[in-house]
Structure 1
Amino acid sequence: MLQRLGTDKIGYSFAPIICIWFAFIGGIGVFNYIKFDPTVVKALNPLYILKYFRRNKKEAWISLGGTVLAITGTEALFADVGHFTVPSIQISMCSVTYPALIFAYTGQAAYLRKHNEHVSETFFKSIPDSLYWPMFVLAVLAAIIASQAMISGTFSIIQQSLSLGCFPRVKIVHTSAKYKGQVYIPEINYLLMLACVGVTLGFRSTARIGNAYGIAVVFVMILTSSFLVLIMNMIWKTPILFVISYVFVIGSVELLYLSSVLYKFDQGGYLPLAFAAVLMSIMYVWNNVYRRKYYYELEHKISQDKLKEVINDTNFCQIPGLAIFYSELVQGIPPIFKHYIANVPALQSVLIFVSIKSLPISKVSVEERFLFRQMEPKDQLNVFLCVVRYTDVRNEQETFETMLIEKLMEFIRDEFWFSQRENSAEQNGETLEGESENKDHVKAQVDEERRLEAVDREIEAVEKAWRAGVVHLIGENEVVAGKGAGIGKRILIDYAYNFLKRNLRQSDKVFDIPHKRMLKVGMTYEL
């Protein structure tokens, strides 16, 4: 429930608790180290690792899966770079987190040297009696707060996937104007909550949850190392011997841990792989069909000549008003418009085709938000194409409709002054070549007055259409597999994609359109 406040506010409220937590576990660790057995530092000698494996063999190899849980959480550092600066993560990790954990584990090891019967509950047994209940409360709070790294990391990954067209449409709320990576996604937040409750009820055991977490952590490390090898080769141009050495040393250690955690695959380890398979399936289905649909619209978009032919058709009538037609196509008029006018041979006097594109930044300035282009010929058509660059339409104080029309009228005026500057530049060049300056000046003045009158008429037409009423036309595209498609393509399009689309946020909720002036236009695409 607190995620909507933003990462920075949550961080400020959680920071004191986490600082107290690290101070307590580090202090208790130092106390136990001094009190019970300071000679435990001899365990840093790598020789003891070899003796441990020689003595326990297979059991030692299996125990690596439990040992890896001591470093869980470090994989979240990479995901959290989107929410926090790199120096802040480096400073907090090296000066607070790492020393406190080393002290805590060293103190627990010293305690176990004297009380090896408490190995299954070392943490609470090693706490002095006077600090037991404060530490119990702190441990519960720290366990809750520890999930914050995973939650904020998930928001960042979903946002990046969405900007690449690899994830279904969700609402992204930028919670900070200062840091562009701090986002909140309500749908994902509540899905995470349900998943956590479901996993807890399903496993009912920290051991099984630990097995699942272990596989997730080791896979993250291996993937990170693999990407690092690509960066070393392609960006840093590292000598091949260093790359091979890195792969041999780091890769062998990580693969050893991976083989250990996979041993417990059937004891809960399958969960992260199942989650990954589900998410990859969703991303593949969405990206594949979304691209097919976009290319279909691009191939079947309405040309400028066809649009002019439709407008000038004697059977087609224009009515007062302004129509805003929403589409995902940026580079022209979508084929669904042809379907609309074939069934409804009437259209408003001013038409704006709007394509809204979400950007992965906290805010887009009003000056850079609307990109307009007018269809030719301008004296016959009041048809405009508009790309709207937004973060979240519903965050704005002023209604989207008002801002769109006001910016359209600004665009018409700016186009006139821009053309005036171009004409002046051309005339200056011609004058230098020796033509009559007076004639050019009179002709330019007449042309300027005519264009100014045309601009005034165009703006007046837009205002008149606005006063007559605005209709929001939303293209609802249904996609089906084409005739003769194989069973795989039918499952992909007819069932998987359409199932995702039916359960997404609808367009009217994304654009915050008033229902009384909204008209949905449906069309089926055969892909």
Structure 2
Amino acid sequence: MSSEDPVLEEDSTIEVSHEEFPQQLKEKKLSWQKLRRYDSLDVESGKLRHGHHRHGSKSAEWSVILHLAFQSLGIVYGDIGTSPLYVYASTFSSGTIKHNDDILGVLSLILYTLTLIPLVKYVFIVLRANDNGDGGTFALYSLICRYAKVGLIPSQEAEDRDVSNFRLQLPSNRLRRASTLKSMLENSQFAKFFLLFATMLGTSMVIGDGVLTPCISVGGIKEATSAMTEDRIVWVSVAILVCLFIFQRFGTDKVGYSFAPIICIWFGLIAGIGVCNFIKYDPTVIKAINPQYIVEYFKRNKKEAWISLGGVVLATTGTEALFADVGHFTVRSIQISMCTVTYPALILAYTGQASFLRKHNEYVSETFFKSIPGPLYWPMFVVAVFAAIIASQAMISGTFSIIQQSLSLGCFPRVKVIYTSAKYEGQVYIPEINYLLMVACVVVTLAFRTTEKIGNAYGIAVVFVMTLTSGFLVLIMIMIWKTHILLIITYILVIGSVELFYLSSVLYKFDQGGYLPLAFAFFLMAVMYIWNDVYRRKYYFELDNKVSPEKLKDIVVDTRFCRIPGLAIFYSELVHGIPPIFKHYVANVPALHSVLVFVSIKSLPISKVPEEERFLFRRAQPNDLNVFRCIVRYGYTDIRNMEEPFERMLVERLKEFIREDLMFSTIIRNNEECAEKEGEPNGGLSHGENIENDAKRVDNEKELEAMEREIEALDKACRAGVVHLMGEHEVVAGKGAGIGKRILINYAYNFLKRNIRQSNKVFDIPQKRMLKVGMTYEL
């Protein structure tokens, strides 16, 4: 948007009323001295600012919240819930316990780790950083992008901040450190790239969790019985995994209701067995509440104790799913299910296992199944197998959510996103990603048959994501929440230092399997970076070669071009102008439709944009050209469906814009005339005023007739037919480009582009009314 575009000010004091205009226009407050011409992008964005409820927020009745809390048990907690299968075995990886009090030290570590990270950090702090109900690494990044201009694509506009979901709830007390940090981020190109890379890395690690989860869970049950050999367990697990991924197409709602009863039974059994073992073997393990046992554990074991932290941290696996999956549920439902079911059951399970180990040190490598009372052994085994497989569900759902977010920010190749529930927002299914995850899970499950190496790999993935989340959260605390500095320091010293301590431990085992998640993450980051880098290059190319208003006018009024009946919609992601594809089109096709609308598809760093705030319009001058620009704004969880409802909505909003364009033009002109009269001395002729009023009425009637003709022309064009014009861009490296750039664009990007869905398939544009316009971009 140009700097000279006028701005509507909500705080001005002049009321406008006109008996012919709708009530909403009467309530507008305009600064007429500053508003020299009417601009639809400003008016549309400010249209429903007052009294608009917050879309995308997950406020709901308690009955819905409790339903979602029950569903979340089957989706979110399978991963963290099955950790008791292997935590003690992974912590005492040598298979021996040197001192009986070491069990108390490890139990104390587990209790405080579960309390600090999943409960305090995620449930009570991180979940507050959701973006209109959506979570994950990209949600944190989008919050930062909204407050500070750290995005790498120059598509920001002043009107974006007027979207009801865009505005941040900021405290009135603005602190100097927030402004200083914001300025540092905005002025540093390194900081912008670092934030983007950190977001990609965190996202890749979360997706990696979804691949590694089945392997670690299956490994935890392989020692359960000699009748079920390792090969049998693995192949049964592969079969169940395939069924699990096939089941995803039915949506989170049905999957949650199907899996939740199994996970509920699982939590009930591990809690009950924990209580039984606690009473039967050694109730004195309650002493582990005293953190002194942690200190003594490190004094006795020193380096070995530090290395064993890689096993303790596995008690928190799947914690990131609490945040990544919040878009499928609500913050309140996640908090309820965690505090009332998951956390108490896990505490009782680990405490019961510790009581058992105090009397049976020799069973440390198979603690879980050896501690089960005889009559419950086989029922528990069956439930454990299903719970271990369901454990991967948490990260599957989280993967769908974060890829959906990354798509809208131009950080992932285009894939089809299917919304599986009209009842609950945010529940999505991505077919391509689902099948790729299935293949990856099956391959890794077959390749890794012991928990030791996969445990090392899994620990790195888990702690790395937690640490990145804490880094983003500190930025949000400082810039957006304006948290007191003492609370920020406390968070860093307590939770941040604990996570860094765990990270140092798991990185020690990098060469013992820990390289796997990093290799997987860097592969995904490479895909994201390639796509995002060329996406940005394409945007800058279009920005540098856009069609100027003067050139557009020359093209439209050129007598060599035939205006044929119909409405043509040109699609583009370029926000600031008309893309060069139009110039290429008219150079080859000497015919233009009677009404042209250049639609710019724009993603905002928010989860949802209300439909009434989605369309922004602007005319191409002069008015009789019937050429319009339209910016269609979406959040990263909005449905981008370009079927007939979109056409109908666009035409209706365009008609509304045409009517309001006339209304505001008339109001502005009348108000300026009134202002001029106020500055003139009194004593004007009554007869002259009457003549002037008559002329004004005639002008108004002419403008009303022109408006009606324009709307009739639009209706006629729609009846004649709507054509969707999509740019089919071939991207190549420019002449003289280096070998790195040629590999990036000519080979890597084009390979991805050839193997993904095309735009018309993603947006569901009707094939019979779509025309592709090919053009080569030399970047």
TM-score, length of structure 1 as denominator length: 0.88
Alignment counterpart, residue 432 of structure 2, candidates 162, 177, 187: 187
Given candidates 650, 654, 657, the residue that maps to 1:411 is: 657
Matched, 1:481 2:753: no
Q: Does residue 534 of structure 2 align to residue 289 of structure 1?
A: yes
Q: 1:161 Cα deviation (Å)?
A: 2.7
> 1:420 is matched by which residue type in structure 2?
T
| Per-residue deviation, residues 460-512 of structure 1 (Å, max 9, x unmatched) | 32233333333322111222221111112222222222222222321211332
Structure 2 vs 1, CA of residues 224 and 370 (structure 1 numbering), >3 Å: closer, same or farther? closer
Equivalent-residue separation in structure 2 for 1:393 and 1:47 (angstroms) = 56
Write the mapping of 1:444-459 to structure 2, written as runs, cut at 5 A: 444-459=696-711
* Superimposed CA distance per residue, residues 60-113 of structure 1 (whole angstroms, 9 cap, x where no aligned partner): 443332232223223333333444444443443333322221221221222233
Q: Which residue of 2 aligns with 1:316?
A: 561
CA distance 1:426–1:223, change in 2 (3 Å): closer
User: Is residue 2:400 matched to residue 1:400?
Assistant: no
Distance 1:123 1:146 in 2: 17
Aligned position for 1:326:
571
Cα pair distance change 1:4/1:440, threshold 3 Å:
farther
Matches of 1:387 and 1:225 in 2, distance apart?
35
1:384 aligns with 2:628: yes
- Equivalent residue, structure 1, for 2:313: 68
| Greater relative contact order (Cα < 8 A, sep 6+) | 2
Distance 2:437 2:608 in 1: 26
How far is the alpha carbon of 1:12 from its aligned partner?
A: 4.5
1:232–1:238 Cα contact (<8 Å) kept: no
Give yes or no for contact 2:266–2:384 (8 Å, CA) kept in 1.
yes
Q: Deviations over 1:302-333 (max 9, x none)?
A: 11211222233343333333322111112221
Q: Which residue of 2 aligns with 1:508?
A: 760
5+ residue gaps, structure 1, are none
Q: Which stretch shifts more, 504-513 or 156-165?
A: 156-165
Secondary structure of the residue aligned to 2:765 is coil
Change (3 A) 1:294 1:197: same
**Whole-angstrom CA distance in 2 between matches of 1:59 and 1:144:** 31
Contact kept in structure 2, 1:393 and 1:511, CA below 8 Å: yes
What one-letter code is carried by the residue in structure 2 that aligns with 1:511?
A: F
Cα distance in 2 for residues equivalent to 1:297 and 1:119: 63
2:477, 2:632 → 1: CA distance?
39
- Residue 390 (structure 2) aligned to one of 139, 145, 149: 145
Tell me if structure 2 keeps the 8 A contact 1:297–1:329.
yes
- DSSP 3-state at the match of 2:623: coil
Deviation by residue 1:343-389 (Cα, 9 ceiling, x = unmatched): 2222222222112235677765553333222211112x121112223
Task: Tell which deviates more after alignment, 342-351 or 34-43.
Answer: 34-43
Q: 1:81 and 1:193 mapped to 2: Cα distance? A: 23
For structure 2, the 5+ residue unaligned runs are 1-245
| 2:573 partner SS | coil
CA distance in 1, matches of 2:722, 2:369: 67
Identity %: 75
Q: Which moved more, 1:460-469 or 1:484-493?
A: 460-469
Aligned counterpart, 1:98: 343
SS of the residue corresponding to residue 354 of structure 1 reads strand
C-alpha contact 1:393 1:400 (8 A) present in aligned 2: no
Aligned to 1:107: 352
Check conservation: 1:174, 1:362, Cα contact below 8 A. Answer: no
Moved more, 82-91 or 61-70: 82-91
Give, in angstroms, the shift of residue 58 of structure 1.
4.8
C-alpha separation in 2, matches of 1:246 and 1:350: 58
The one-letter code of the counterpart of 1:386 is: C
Instruction: Tell me the alpha carbon deviations over residues 150-184 of structure 1, each in whole angstroms, 9 at most, x when there is no partner.
Output: 22332333233334333333334455667655444
- Aligned ranges for residues 346-385 of structure 1 at < 5 Å? 346-358=591-603, 365-379=610-624, 381-385=625-629
Deviation at 1:131, TM superposition (A): 1.7
Structure 2: distance between partners of 1:411 and 1:44: 66
Shift of 1:276: 1.6
Counterpart of 1:440 in 2: which secondary structure?
Answer: helix
Equivalent position SS for 2:747: helix
Q: Letter of the 1:467 partner, please give it.
A: R
Distance of aligned partners of 1:366 and 1:89 in 2 relative to their CA distance in 1, 3 Å threshold: closer
Find the residue that maps to 1:501 and give its secondary structure: helix
RMSD: 3.1
Instruction: Give the drift of 1:297.
Output: 1.0
Counterpart CA distance in 1 for 2:623 and 2:496 is 64
Report the AA paired with residue 598 of structure 2: F
1:470 to 2:722 alignment: yes
Cα shift readout 1:112-151 (whole Å, capped 9, x = no counterpart): 3333333222212221222223222322332233333322
- Residue 363 of structure 2 is matched in structure 1 by 118
Judged with a 3 Å threshold, the aligned counterparts in structure 2 of structure 1 residues 262 and 519 are, in CA distance, closer, same or farther, namely same
Instruction: Indicate the residue corresponding to 1:442 in structure 2.
Output: 694
**Residues 62 and 261 of structure 1 are in contact (CA less than 8 Å); yes or no, is this contact kept in structure 2?**
yes
SS at the partner of 2:728?
strand
Runs (4+) of structure 1 moved beyond 6 Å? 360-363
Shift of 1:271: 1.6
Matched, 1:519 2:765: no
**Distance in 1 (alpha carbons) for counterparts of 2:550 and 2:771:** 26
Q: Distance in 2 between matches of 1:227 and 1:413?
A: 45
- Whether the 8 Å CA contact 1:324–1:472 is kept in 2: the answer is yes
| 2:750 equivalent in structure 1 | 498
Read off the aligned partner of 2:458 and give its amino acid letter.
Y
Q: Distance in 2 between matches of 1:181 and 1:359?
A: 17
Partner residue, 1:18: 263
> 1:236 is matched with which residue: 472, 483, 488?
483
Per-residue deviation at 1:415?
A: 2.2
